[in-house]
């Protein structure tokens, strides 16, 4: 583990791809446990995980009169299961197959009297292997798992600052385990045309409900496919005419025709003198491109930052 703490560390995809893939699948198992017990919330807001000062959490899950949560701890590298009756279990995060992780977690839950059934195949990935049978993916590099969490933690903080200037419907900052990305979404308030669907191994009705209304959405993703590097993104659905050619900031941002979204390489933020300012500039300018070209009612939807951050009378 690095001895010097860096809030915005390097995260070259080619150096942690195997760990990323395995951790993505582990996060889906944990996320599906939350999903199996949670009441439905619009746009799948009952699905995500959330950042903590040590990792990721399901937040409290109701079960048969009790509450429990499952946390990834990327500092001590454990998976923690805590129940409100005081019982607790811990599993080491280490090199192990997805199948071993799945069976160990289910055994620990059973030992706590928590009996859950989940859909046993990954979503949003090509060629999914059932969790209980996946002995192909087994990598875990604690240094890179910790780096990824540190970046998510900083992005979560900046995204929360960005969302304060919007008084319309505005999502919490969510970690979506299906795609392994952190996202925040603003809504115009108007219905959207039917989404075409087509996300790998995800029912179209889920995608269509998620995009039932017009959005401007931004997030962080470790990268892959045509862009094999960590990146921030911003897109609009439906994409208004002129959005892809809009002038956005900073200069390193560009429109990806493959992903149909604006991209800012993470390196442009990490190496900046003021990373927060660079990221906020990207978030605001790409949102403005979506809102202006989409004819959103910005006067009604936007607001000044209130109360003032750090104000003693807040």
Q: What is the pLDDT of residues 135-146, one digit of tens each?
A: 999 999 999 999
| pLDDT, tens only, 84-102 | 999 999 999 999 999 999 9
Question: What is the per-residue pLDDT for 1?
Answer: 47
Contact status, residue 55 vs residue 76, Cβ threshold 8 Å? no
Contacts of 222 (CB under 8 A, 6+ apart): 11, 13, 20, 148, 180, 230
pLDDT of 310 reads 62
* pLDDT score at 226: 97
Shortest CA distance to 72 belongs to which of 49, 98, 95?
A: 49
How far is the C-alpha of 83 from the C-alpha of 75, rounded, in Å?
21
pLDDT on residue 314: 53
DSSP tag of 249: S
Q: Where are the domains of the chain?
A: 13-133, 142-301
- What integer pLDDT is reported at residue 311 of this predicted model? 61
Distances (CA, A) of 36 to 82, 139, 300: 17, 26, 37
Q: What angle do CA 254, 179, 96 make, to 5 degrees?
A: 125
Please give the pLDDT value at position 5. Answer: 80
Q: Give residue 304's pLDDT.
A: 83
Alpha carbons 286 and 82: distance in angstroms, whole number: 40
Q: What tokens appear for 232 in the block?
A: 């921030």
Whose tokens are 């409900």? That residue is: 209
What's the predicted TM-score (pTM) here? 0.95
- Return d(Cα 127, Cα 134) in angstroms, integer: 12
Length of the chain: 314
* Regions of the chain with pLDDT less than 70: 1-4, 305-314
**pLDDT averaged over the chain?**
96
């Amino acid at each position: 583990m690095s001895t010097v703490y860096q809030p915005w560390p390097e995260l070259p995809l080619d150096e942690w791809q195997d760990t990323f893939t395995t951790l993505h699948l582990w996060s889906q198992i944990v996320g599906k446990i939350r999903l199996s017990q949670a009441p439905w919330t619009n746009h799948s807001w009952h699905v995500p995980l959330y950042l903590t000062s040590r990792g990721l959490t399901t937040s409290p899950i109701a079960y048969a009169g009790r509450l429990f949560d499952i946390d990834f701890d990327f500092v001590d590298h454990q998976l923690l299961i805590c129940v409100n009756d005081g019982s607790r279990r811990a599993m080491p995060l280490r090199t192990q197959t997805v199948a071993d992780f799945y069976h160990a977690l289910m055994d620990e839950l059973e030992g706590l009297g928590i009996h859950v059934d989940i859909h046993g195949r990954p979503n949003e990935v090509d060629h999914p292997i059932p969790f209980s049978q996946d002995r192909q993916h087994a990598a875990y590099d604690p240094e890179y798992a910790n780096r990824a969490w540190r970046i998510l933690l900083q992005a979560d903080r900046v995204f929360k600052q960005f969302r304060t200037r919007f008084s319309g419907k505005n999502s919490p900052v969510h970690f979506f385990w299906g795609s392994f990305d952190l996202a925040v979404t603003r809504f115009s308030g108007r219905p959207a045309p039917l989404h075409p669907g087509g996300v790998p191994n995800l029912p179209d009705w889920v995608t269509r409900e998620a995009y039932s209304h017009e959005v401007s959405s931004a997030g962080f993703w470790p990268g892959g496919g045509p862009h094999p590097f960590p990146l921030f993104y911003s897109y609009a659905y439906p994409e208004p005419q002129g959005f892809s050619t809009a002038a956005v900031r900073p200069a390193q941002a560009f429109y990806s025709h493959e992903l149909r979204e604006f991209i800012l390489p993470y390196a442009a933020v990490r190496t900046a003198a003021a990373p927060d300012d660079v990221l906020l500039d990207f978030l605001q300018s790409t949102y403005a491109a979506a809102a202006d070209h989409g004819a959103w009612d910005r006067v009604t939807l936007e607001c000044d930052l209130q109360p003032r951050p750090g104000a003693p009378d807040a």
